[in-house]
C-alpha cells in the first residue's frame, strides 16, 4: 500500500479509502436496493482483508443502514483503533423531528455523540458535512465543528457533494474567522462523470485540499459487466442503474440516448484493459490514481477490494489517458442536494 498526506494536514492515509455504505443490514438500506449491502459477517471479511492490505482509511456516515455501518466498523476496529483513520458524516435526517436533520449546532452535537457511541471511540479523525445546509448559516456549522475539534472529539473536518461556490465560502469564512478549515471533500468522479474538473478539483489542488472520489467505477459500469454487443444493458439486480427508478447514477451513466458517448468510453476502457492484460475496473481506477485523487471503494466482496489494490500497479501512458478521456461530453450536475 502507498500512503499520502490528507490534504494540507500531516495525517497519512492509504491511497485507497474503504467506503462503508455497503456495510449494514439490507433491510435498513435506503438507497433503493439491498443486494449490495454486506451483513456484519461479510463486512468483517472485507474489513479484515482491507486492513491486511494496508488500507488504514475508512469512510462511513451516520445514516448508512441507519447507523449499522458505524456499529460494524467500530466493532471491527476494537484494539486497533489508534492505527486507523476513521471518517464519518452528518447532515441527512435521522428522525422525524424538525431538528433531526441538517447542520445546526443542536443536530451536529447530537449526531457526533451518537456516531462516537456506535463507533466505540472517543474521536473521529475526519468529520464531514454530508451536504450543504441551506437553512443553517455556515458560520454556525463551522463554529460547532471547531468546538468539536477543541473538545478532542474530531481531528479534522471535511465536506461532501456541494457546489464549488459553497465549498469556497466554507473555506474562506473558516480562514477569515479562525474556524477549522476543511482538509478534504468528496464527490462522484470517474471517466463517465468529470464535471468536478471545472472548479472543485482545481480549487482543491490550489489549496492543497484532499479530493476523494466516490463511485470511481460509475457504480460498476466501467467494469464492463453491463457492456454487451456495443450497448450498455440495464442490470436487473441493481435499481441504482435502472432508468425507471430515477436514481442519479442511472440518469448519468445509463441514459445512452442522452449520453451516447458513455458507450464509447466504456468500450475504450475495455480495450485498454485488454491491451494491458488487466481488468477494466483497474484501468478506471488507474485513471483516478493518475489524477492524484483518492478513490473511495465501497464493496461487499473481498475480490473487488483486491482488484482495486492491484490497480495501484497499473500505469497509464499519456496517450492512453487521452484516448480514454477523448469521447467525454459535459453532463448536468445531479448529485447536489437542492434547497428544500
| 26, 246, 285, 329 from 334: Cα distances, Å | 25, 11, 22, 15
Tell me which of 3, 64, 211, 253 is the catalytic residue.
64
Long-range contacts of 168-173 (CB under 8 A, 24+ apart): 168/203, 169/138, 170/138, 170/142, 171/207, 171/209, 173/138, 173/139, 173/142
Inter-residue contact 155 to 123 (CB < 8 Å): yes
Q: Say whether 171 is catalytic.
A: no
Closest CA to 94 of 142, 135, 141, 130: 130
Query: Where do we find the cell 464519518?
Result: 88
Angle at 323 between CA 321 and CA 326, to 5 degrees: 105
Inter-residue contact 186 to 158 (CB < 8 Å): yes
| 4, 61, 62, 63, 100 from 97: Cα distances, Å | 41, 20, 17, 15, 5
Which residues are registered as beta bridge partners of 159? 129, 185
User: Which burial class, exposed, middle or buried, applies to 243 when counting CB atoms under 10 A from its CB (0-12, 13-18, 19+)?
Assistant: middle
Which residues are registered as beta bridge partners of 294? 212
- Residues taking part in catalysis: 64
Amino acid at each position: 500500500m502507498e500512503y499520502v498526506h490528507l490534504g494540507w494536514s500531516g495525517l497519512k492515509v492509504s491511497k485507497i479509502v474503504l467506503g462503508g455504505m455497503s456495510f449494514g443490514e439490507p433491510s435498513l438500506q435506503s438507497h433503493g436496493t439491498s443486494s449490495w449491502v454486506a451483513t456484519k459477517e461479510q463486512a468483517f471479511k472485507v474489513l479484515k482483508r482491507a486492513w491486511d492490505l494496508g488500507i488504514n482509511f475508512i469512510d462511513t456516515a451516520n445514516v448508512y443502514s441507519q447507523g449499522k455501518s458505524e456499529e460494524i466498523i467500530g466493532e471491527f476496529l476494537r484494539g486497533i483503533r489508534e492505527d486507523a483513520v476513521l471518517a464519518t458524516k452528518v447532515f441527512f435526517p435521522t428522525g422525524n423531528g424538525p431538528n433531526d436533520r441538517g447542520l445546526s449546532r443542536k443536530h451536529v452535537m447530537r449526531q457526533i455523540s451518537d456516531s462516537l457511541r456506535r463507533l466505540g471511540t472517543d474521536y473521529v479523525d475526519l468529520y464531514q458535512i454530508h451536504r450543504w445546509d441551506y437553512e443553517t448559516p455556515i458560520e454556525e456549522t463551522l463554529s460547532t465543528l471547531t468546538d468539536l475539534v477543541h473538545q478532542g472529539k474530531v481531528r479534522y473536518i471535511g465536506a461532501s457533494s456541494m457546489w464549488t461556490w459553497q465549498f469556497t465560502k466554507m473555506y474562506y469564512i473558516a480562514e477569515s474567522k479562525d474556524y477549522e478549515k476543511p482538509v478534504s471533500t468528496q464527490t462522484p468522479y470517474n471517466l463517465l462523470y468529470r464535471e468536478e474538473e471545472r472548479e472543485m478539483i482545481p480549487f482543491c489542488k490550489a489549496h492543497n485540499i484532499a479530493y476523494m472520489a466516490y463511485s470511481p467505477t460509475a457504480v460498476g459500469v466501467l467494469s464492463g459487466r453491463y457492456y454487451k454487443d456495443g450497448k450498455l444493458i440495464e442490470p436487473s439486480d441493481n435499481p441504482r442503474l435502472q432508468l425507471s427508478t430515477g436514481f442519479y447514477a442511472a440518469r448519468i451513466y445509463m441514459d445512452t440516448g442522452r449520453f451516447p458517448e458513455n458507450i464509447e468510453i466504456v468500450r475504450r476502457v475495455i480495450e485498454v484493459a485488454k491491451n494491458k492484460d488487466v481488468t477494466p475496473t483497474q484501468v478506471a481506477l488507474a485513471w483516478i490514481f493518475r489524477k492524484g485523487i483518492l478513490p473511495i471503494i465501497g464493496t461487499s466482496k473481498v475480490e473487488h477490494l483486491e482488484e482495486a489494490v492491484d490497480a495501484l500497479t497499473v500505469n497509464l501512458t499519456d496517450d492512453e489517458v487521452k484516448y480514454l478521456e477523448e469521447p467525454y461530453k459535459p453532463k448536468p450536475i445531479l448529485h447536489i442536494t437542492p434547497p428544500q
